[in-house]
Each structure stands twice: as structure tokens, then as C-alpha cells.
Amino acid sequence: MRLSSVQIFQQGISAILTQQAKQSHTQQQLATGLRVLTPSDDPVAAVQILDITEDLGLVDQYQKNGNLAEGQLALEETVLDHVGNVLQRVRELVVQANNASQSPETRASIATEVTARVDEIQALANTRDASGEYIFAGFQAQSEPFSRQGSGFSFNGDSGQRFLQLGSSTQVAVRDSGLDVFMSIAAGNGSFVVEPNGANTGTAVAGSSSATNAFVSDDYTIGFSQLTSSDPVTYQVTDSSAVVVASGTYVDGDTISFAGASIDMDGVPANGDSFNVAAGVKQDMFTTLQNIAGALNSAGSAPAEIAAVNNSMSQALYNLDQALENVSNIRSDVGVRLNQVESQLNINESFNVQLQETLSGIQDLDYAEAISRFNLELTALEAAQQSYVKMQGLSLFNYL
């Protein structure tokens, strides 16, 4: 077979270029520390690297969501702690105001602090996070959730709850609606509320109350009568249909029981006095505090006026206990969610380490093997270059 000089030269140059390409590829591997530089290096590994890299990106986003969730929940937990402290302080004031040694003036002074506490609760309910969103407004996070409307308060948010994705199948709620925290709170003992008629003239005070599982939910009225001073005081309990469900003779300190409900009574009612027993009542936290301040501001020194204050403070204690329990329950739920976030962050971190190890095993370079290969390729390149020089110098004209 005949080989022309051009063919010989082309083969020599091709061999040099091939060795240079191999050496360049190995040099890039050594410079980057990666075994797979292009999909053509290892198509199967390239697909695996793409999948693992995508998974690592998702885990990284989950970790960012988890850190954000921790911050959001920690902020809510702090706010709820302050709300609980305010309610506990108001409870102490109610106990103080319900003391017989208090005068109308001292009760009015206590009412001033209670009013200030209403403003404090409102400020806490309108707390914003670092991004300027209201944390208790539901999905209406750009609008102030609680505002004064005349003598009351209105909720301008909704019942929405924001969730963050912490894993492929794990979500956590990072906020609670102010509707659940501040507005929809069971009043009284949780089953019913006892309220004296505003026209009562006696000294009867409704104290402790309870309901059994047999309690029949309805609106009841406890009416007292005493036609003459020599007659015994009697009571009659009627439901919303004016049907008598219980009756009897009353003496100071008696417990009136009916339809699964029991109410301890103290004092002596006047003829015609009555108490309303309303079932299933919900009341917001702001109204509870405002009612306390209003009752203390209107306190008088007459026996009937003192009884009215005692009735108000007695029911206020129930309402405050319900509010405190509600805040405690939500705060406990926030704590559970914080633990869930922490646990998921640890799981994500472990998953991230496993993915990094797997990715390293697929795409990272074996430096010992690559350096040995580089030296071998360098030797091959030098041999190709030297052989080309030798071949280039071979010519018959040199021997003529």
C-alpha cells in the first residue's frame, strides 16, 4: 500500500490533535474536580446528576421554608405569651375589684388600667412580621385585622391559615387567624353564661356554675318572687318556650339545679329579680375587657349596685379563664408545630447529606487515577510529536 507524504503528515497531525484533546479533557477534569464534564462523558451518570441536583435544589428550598416557618411561629408564640400575660394581669385586677373593701373610686381607678389593657391587646392583635404583614389577619395579611367600631371592635381579616411546604409531603401552618385567637371564645363556663337582669334590686349574686353531659342547651330564665316579707323566697326556672323546668324555695347560699346545670347563688334577691342563662355564647376578648371596665366605672355603693358589680366580676372571671385557656391551647399548638418544623429540618439536613454523598460518588473525580492518566497522555503526546518530527524529515531527496 502506498502512502503519500500528505497522508503521512495528516495522520501525524491527527494523532497529535487526538492526544492533545485527551490531555485537555483530563486537564479540565483536574481543574474542576469533576469526572463528568459533558453528558457524552457518561450519559447514565449525567441523567443521575441532573436528578440529584434537582432534588438538592428542592431540599434547599424546603430548608429555607423551614427557617421562615420557625421565625413566623416563634413570633406568634411570643405575641401569644404577651397576650396571656395581659389577660392574667386583668384577672388579678378583677379579683382585686371584686373585694368588698373596694370603693367606687378605687374600682374606677382599676377600670382605667383595664381600659389601657384593651389597647395593649389590640396592639398585640395587630402585630406585623418582618415583611410588614399582619400575622393574625388570615389571607388578608395586608389589612389591619382589628379596628374599633364605635364602642366595639371588628375583625377585618378572614379565617385563612397560611401553610409552608417543608418536604415533599409535609406542610405546616405558620399563622393562626385572629378570628380563632381573639374573637370566637366561649363565654361563661363554656356551656352557658349567667347574667343578672339590669333591673334587679336585690343582692343576689350568681357564683360558681357548671354543666353536666346531660345539660340541655337552651336559653333559661331564673325568676325570684316574694310576695310579702314574711313569705319565703321562691324561684322558678323557665326555658325559651316559657315552660317551667325547675322551681323551689330559695335561701341564701343555695345551689339552683336544672336541665343538667348548677348555679351557686349568694345574697337575697328581691321580688321580681331574675337571671338569664344563655347557652353556647361566644364573646371576643376585647368585649370581655371592655365590659369589665364598664362595670367598674358604673360601680356604686348601694347594696344592689355592689351586687351588680359582683355579678359582673364573677362572670368576668369565667370569661377571662376561657380566653386564657383559648390562648394557651393555640400556644400549645404553635409549640407542636415548632417541634414539627425542627424535626423536618433535621430530616431534610440528613437527606441533603445523603444526596451530596451520592452526587459526589457519581460526578467527583478520582484524582489519583486522573493524574496517572494525565501523565500517560502527556507521554503519548510527546511520542506523537517526536514521531511526527522524525517522519517529517524522511525524504529520498536527502540521499540523492
- Mind listing the domains of the chain with CATH numbers? 34-188+282-364 (1.20.1330.10), 193-280 (no CATH)
In the block, cell 318572687 appears at: 225
Alpha helices in the chain (DSSP H): 5-32, 43-97, 104-125, 178, 285-297, 303-363, 367-393
Eight-state DSSP code of residue 232? P
Burial of 242 (0-12, 13-18, 19+ CB in 10 A): exposed
Distance CA 398, CA 400 (A): 6
User: Cβ(178)–Cβ(286) under 8 Å?
Assistant: no
**Average pLDDT score, the chain:** 87
Confidence of residue 397 (pLDDT cuts 50, 70, 90): low
pTM, whole model, 2 decimals?
0.81
Q: Which three cell numbers stand for residue 240?
A: 325559651
- 380 Cβ neighbours under 8 A, 6+ residues apart: 19, 22
What is the pLDDT, as a whole number, of residue 288? Answer: 94
Residue count of the chain, please give it. 400
pLDDT at 102 over 80: yes
Bridge partners of residue 264, in order along the sequence:
255
Confidence of residue 356 (pLDDT cuts 50, 70, 90): confident
Bridge partners of residue 225, in order along the sequence:
234
pLDDT at 251 over 70: yes
Confidence of residue 393 (pLDDT cuts 50, 70, 90): low
- pLDDT above 70: percentage of residues in the chain: 85
- How does pLDDT run across 3-59, given as a tens digit for each residue? 556 665 676 666 666 666 666 677 776 777 777 777 766 787 778 878 888 889 999
**Maximum CA extent, the chain:** 160
pLDDT at 391 over 70: no
Between 98 and 374, name the one with better pLDDT.
98
pLDDT at 74 over 80: yes
Mean pLDDT for the stretch of residues 102-122: 94
